[in-house]
Amino acid sequence: MNDQNNKILIVDDDEHILLSLRVLLEPEFGEILCLKDPNQIPLILKDYHVDIILLDMNYTQGETSGKEGIKWLKEILNIDPDINVLLITAYGDLNIAVNALKYGAIDFIVKPWNNEKLVATINAILQYSLNKREVKKLKSKQRALITAFETEVPEIIGTSAVMKDLFKLIDKVAPADANVLIQGENGTGKELFARAIHKRSQRSENPFINVDLGALTETLFESEMFGHKKGAFTDAKEDRIGRFEAGSGGTIFLDEIANLPLAQQSKLLSVIQNREVFPVGSNKAVKIDVRLICGTNVSLKELVANNMFRQDLIYRINTVEINIPALRERIEDIPLLANHFIEKYCKKYRRTIIKLPEYVVRKLQKYHWPGNVRELQHSIERAIILTSDNIFKSSDFDFLEGKEFNQNPFENYNLEDLEKWATTNCLKKHSGNVSRAAKELGLTRGALYRRIEKYGI
């Protein structure tokens, strides 16, 4: 297995042994490191990723017990349990070497060794090590992908003109493999549009990884995004690949990019430019191939002006900009969205489909929806839970901010709309007291009850 990226460390107090092994192994493998003093082993392992260590059993003159070799074997595996240690022993110390295997050595060689057999042994160890790393990497990637896919992904719904234009733009952008910046208020569905771009791209068969940067602390950012090696910090109990490596070949969606501190912005810029990451605790780069989509609900240009965002990073992430409209800018989609959520939550709560009358739709269309589609979704779910009827009434949505319905709620002066508005708000004013509301409206109780029934209040 001739791989010039392999690193082999030879530890022996005999300079002739070190020279002989270097001459033999250097043409066959990658970098060969040699040490006479085993006390330097921890320093080497701190600075280098070593694949195999050839470790002598004795270092003190006259010592033949092999205790020194076992001591350093344990120390090496304590530093990195994945390192393969190949013991070097004299023929007369075979029993000691065999006994040392139970402490974690992978094999031993006997002086004088057979050159061809030694090269074959090292090749076999390297192949075993590679297979073990691949299995570990696949398991780590599987865990990362399970986390990425555990959330439900709803579909994008909309037939308004602004949404049709947006769908056309996505169809153009998706195959281009360019980085995309999606801008929109909270609740407009930035992640859904990012997934739509991924689904229509040439990377659609590979992972889509969603990362909410607003939920990552500064200390977790590097570990989550770049991965870490075992022992890199207190809770790093095993190697873990980061989101970039897990998503390699696919798409990474970085939501709330504006929340990323300047120090992390610099590291992200380096990753985009060099297309590689360095796991925490490692000096070995991992190549990545991802398409980057970022989301924000604030103006990045304003942040740049206030020295809170790097301008050079903006140039890297916004090859194409997509702006998602607020729900109040596409009110013609509200009936379609509302009925979609009614069907979804009636099924979830085992209810027959609750009808949505036109006058309730008009009420929903007059609301400002600061939380956008997400707020509409939650409002429909809450109304379904609380109502016992098979048809919605205006009062089922009174928990929404009332001021949008109390002030200038009409585009025209249709008498029925005015009468319904006056009836609704007068009842609300008097906390549902029909007698007081009727008196203020100049109606009898019976006349007010007929209007309540007529308008489904």
**Among all chains, which residue has been given the structure tokens 């001021």?**
403
Q: What is the mean pLDDT of each run of 10 residues along the chain (457 residues)?
A: 73 92 89 93 88 91 84 91 87 72 87 90 85 63 51 74 94 94 94 94 91 82 87 77 89 93 93 92 89 94 90 94 95 96 95 94 92 94 93 90 49 69 81 78 78 79
Answer CATH for 329-455 from 3.40.309.10, 3.40.50.1820, 1.20.210.10, 1.10.8.60? 1.10.8.60
Whole-prediction pTM value? 0.60
Q: What class does CATH assign to 161-325?
A: alpha beta
Q: Where are the domains of the chain?
A: 7-130, 161-325, 329-455
d(CA 416, CA 419): 5
DSSP 324: P
CATH topology match: 7-130 vs 329-455:
no
Which residues, 6+ apart, have CB-to-CB distance to 135 below 8 Å?
none
What is the phi/psi pair of residue 229, to 5°?
-95, 155
What is the phi/psi pair of residue 108, to 5°?
-140, 155
What integer pLDDT is reported at residue 443 of this predicted model? 80
Under CATH, which architecture does the 7-130 domain have?
3-Layer(aba) Sandwich (3.40)
Contacts 24+ apart (CB under 8 A), 306-312: 308/262, 309/258, 309/262, 309/265, 310/262, 310/265, 310/266, 310/269, 312/269
Question: In the numeric block, which tokens belong to residue 428?
Answer: 């609300």
Task: Answer for the pair 293, 335: CB distance below 8 angstroms, yes or no.
Answer: no
DSSP 368: -
DSSP letter for each residue of 174-217: GGG---EEEE--TTS-HHHHHHHHHHTSTTTTS-EEEEEGGG--
What integer pLDDT is reported at residue 412 of this predicted model? 57
Measured from the Cβ of residue 73, the count of other Cβ atoms closer than 10 Å reads: 21
d(CA 322, CA 125): 51
Task: Assign 33 to helix, strand or coil.
Answer: strand
